[in-house]
Amino acid sequence: MALLSRKERNLVLDPLTDDNPITVQVLGICSALAITAELKASVVMAVSVIAVLAVGNVVISLLRNVIPNKIRIIVQLVVIAALVILVDLILKAFAFELSKQLSVFIGLIITNCIIMGRFEAFALGNNPWHSFLDGIGNAGGYGLILIIVGFFRELLGFGTLFGYKVLGDPIEKTGLYALGYENNGFMVLSPMALIVIGIIIWVQRIKNKELIED
């Protein structure tokens, strides 16, 4: 595989595991708690953030030598907000149905700390190609956690996955519910997302002791 050098491969792969933005860098926690009640919302958010962070990282990286240091955070905010609003406007004009589905996520993307975090920590100091890979990797790592949390919350909270009743019907008492199983209503609420993320962090640190801080 000569497509990506070793360093480049690490840029994409590290954030998926040992340098995960949510469980290790503790970025993007808020949206991971808020919108993971269903798997579908997790997937949409994951895909949107991958697209936005990859493109945003490239733009910031291209501008990195001209952005004044004193107002760099504001510039980053303007870039990301302008990008997202542009995409939203274009979708509204040419793919209205899609824009209806995504509109809820727009605000969540702009205020997502993972985006600003990667601009500040990586794109400002690296070339566009590496920034692009970093964007894909970090947004991918973020999306991975979102999807894991969404999987458990939807399965245990609603007994469904992507809306399909995988455990049977709770009202008609079929499948597992016939045996007396009940959905855990608490899983639907965000505190349980925090607990699920906590468990992921715990498991990850059992497997890799180097991640444990003193």
Contact residues toward other proteins (CB under 8 A) are 34-38, 40-41, 44-45, 65-71, 74-75, 78, 82, 85-86, 89-90, 92-94, 96, 100, 103-105, 107, 150, 154, 157, 163, 171, 185, 188-189
Measured from the CB atom, the residue of 104 and 206 that comes closer to other proteins is 104
Measured from the CB atom, the residue of 50 and 75 that comes closer to other proteins is 75
Measured from the CB atom, the residue of 41 and 133 that comes closer to other proteins is 41
Measured from the CB atom, the residue of 184 and 204 that comes closer to other proteins is 184
Measured from the CB atom, the residue of 129 and 162 that comes closer to other proteins is 162
Min dist CB 10 to other proteins, Å, is 30
Min dist CB 80 to other proteins, Å, is 11
Min dist CB 19 to other proteins, Å, is 27
- Give the C-alpha separation, 206 to 183, whole Å: 29
Min dist CB 83 to other proteins, Å, is 10
Min dist CB 59 to other proteins, Å, is 12
